[in-house]
Amino acid sequence: MNEKRATVTIPQQELPVSYEPEVVVIGGGATGIAAAIAAARNGADTLLVEQRGYMGGMGTAALVPAFCPYTDGEKPVIRGIGLDLMEKMKQAAGDVYMSMHKDRLDWVPIDAEVLKRIYDSEVTRSGAKVLFHTFVDQVLAEGEQIQGIVISNKSGRSVVRAKLYIDATGDADLAALAGVPFHIGGDEGELQPGTMCFLVSGLDKDRYDRFIEETGQGGQLSETVQLAQQNGDLPEGRKRISGTAWLSKSVAGFNFGHVFGVDGTKAEDLTYAAIEGRKLIETQLRFLHKYVPGFENAHLVHSGDQIGIRETRRIVGDYTLVVDDFMSMRSFEDDIARNSYFIDIHLANAQSTMAIKRLPKGRSHGVPYRCMLPQGKENLIVAGRSVSSDRPVQGSLRVMPNCFAMGQAAGTAAAMAAQAGTGFRGVRVPALQRRLTEQGAWLGDRSEAGAEGAAVGTGATAAIRFDEEC
């Protein structure tokens, strides 16, 4: 039973209107970056609001060490803004980095400091405005319309009034404040664990590579990790290192280990996870020194500003993408992206196992526009890991390349809606699809729209405009 808390009534307050853009994007992670760039490039006056002093979300704030795959094993599935941003990071990361990763598209190591600068440059170059160090703490809504949002920062509290609102928070924070229904976690409230990622220097990659070749266990060091667990030098739980992302011959990032029982929508849980995550890194460094040749002099350079969060809210939208859609590689009449990343649900506790389902090489499924449209709101769209899906599919959609693709679609739709004077359900889907493909996105072979596995799906289909643009 919830403990009853004391309450305080806040006096009515008159707030200034600080910004009146056509489109406001809340959240500066991969989703929000692509959304802001797309909206601005398509002609909308756009403002991006971010709580930190830089963009990048989990890739910079949580130091997730590598981009998940952009390809289906044969060709890029994620293109457009997302692929362009990654390529710009690679080109700016220096000669040594390029010599190691020039032609790579899957599991590309993230140079967080370079990436921050690329995001700054590309978002501002698009024409979008950026407001850092700012939170949204209230939504002003009337019926199905959001009239404004209350923001808080060092300048005080003020109101942003926009025509269209994009929730790119990853946690559906804006949607939740607006009263949109959502699900969180599994049937028993379980959530994927968090991971405190980190960056180390002082490594000897050549020596490490010889060790990998001699032991034949690959870069995930499964045998070494399990030996350390048996010896009591690592806690039970994750049986491998998710990957060692090499930025140079001596510097690498790690996605290693779990902190369980963390709800990323609660400040208390994030505080606990930060403390426990840093403790776990100390244990992991001792393991690297003791068990991994080439890592004897590993030195911690930086840990994430916050723990990496894989799962929180999933909105209830006009269509819910389900595991059967994933497994049958279904296409939809309103596809705005393709996804080929495997279902990747991390264990909820140290004793359980991971759930992984993969699609055949060269195959993908569609991501329908309707799964970004929250029930009950007309001028709000939700993109990124919190779109309307079941829990297994969220375990696939949640990664950064997919977030770029959904963000580009959301931003493009917002610009089109602003120009037409409609809400998001008034956007003509064929026109949106054409504009996305013209601007580099890949929606698969549209000639296969009537093939086996294709579907319009269920949900509020009639609310979406499938008619061609005049």
The pLDDT tens digits for 281-339 are 999 999 999 999 999 999 999 999 999 999 999 999 999 999 999 999 999 999 999 99
User: Under a CB-based contact definition with an 8 Å cutoff, are residues 133 and 52 in contact?
Assistant: yes
pLDDT less than 70: residues of the chain: 1-2, 348-355, 446-470
Question: Rounded to two decimals, what is the model's pTM?
Answer: 0.94
Q: How far apart are CA 28 and CA 32, in angstroms?
A: 5
Q: Scanning the structure block, which residue is given the tokens 């729209």? A: 449
Q: Are 301 and 368 in contact (CB under 8 A)?
A: no
Q: How would you class 6 by CB atoms within 10 Å of its CB: exposed for 0-12, middle for 13-18, buried for 19 or more?
A: exposed
What pLDDT score was predicted for residue 236?
Answer: 85
- Please state, in angstroms and rounded to a whole number, the distance separating the CA atoms of residues 54 and 49: 11
Measure the CA–CA gap between 360 and 210, rounded to whole angstroms: 32
Which of 201, 52, 41 shows the shortest CA–CA distance to 116? 52
* pLDDT on residue 470: 32
What pLDDT score was predicted for residue 2? 59
Residue 152's SS3 state is: strand
Crossing angle of helices 30-41 and 400-420, in 10° steps, is 30
